[in-house]
């Protein structure tokens, strides 16, 4: 039996910066960061919040949705898959960018 691989991400958070828009091969692309918060208890039992920031990439109709309705602090649900891209920085060192490529968005 072959192990089935799944690359699926579900996030609910807030847009943490103003989305940026570009066009590639005639197709609109939106990039933005989504902040998610996770509560945890400290040693004294006090509830604290840990924030994580996720790079999101949306194209086509999803980018247009962000263009019309997306703004900093807007609550948003994102479904998609993790993707990795590599590039060389100015010093010639290979760097990785990990992002969620959106397949569906839910404006909350």
**pLDDT tens readout for residues 62-95:** 999 999 999 999 999 999 999 999 999 999 999 9
As a whole number of angstroms, the distance between CA 67 and CA 4 comes to 36
* Global confidence as pTM: 0.86
User: 63 and 29 in contact (C-beta within 8 Å)?
Assistant: yes
What ranges in the chain are assigned the alpha helix state H? 61-69
Could you tell me the two tokens for 79? Answer: 């479904």
Largest CA distance in the chain: 55
């Amino acid at each position: 039996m072959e192990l089935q691989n799944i690359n699926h991400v579900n996030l609910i958070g807030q847009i943490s910066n103003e989305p940026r828009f570009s066009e590639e091969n005639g197709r609109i692309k939106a990039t933005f960061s989504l902040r998610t918060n996770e509560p945890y208890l400290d040693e004294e039992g006090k509830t604290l919040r840990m924030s994580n920031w996720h790079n999101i990439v949306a194209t086509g109709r999803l980018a247009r949705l962000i263009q019309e309705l997306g703004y900093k602090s807007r609550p948003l649900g994102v479904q998609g898959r993790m993707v990795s891209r590599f590039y060389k920085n100015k010093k010639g060192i290979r760097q990785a960018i990990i992002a969620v490529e959106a397949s569906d968005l839910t404006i909350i």
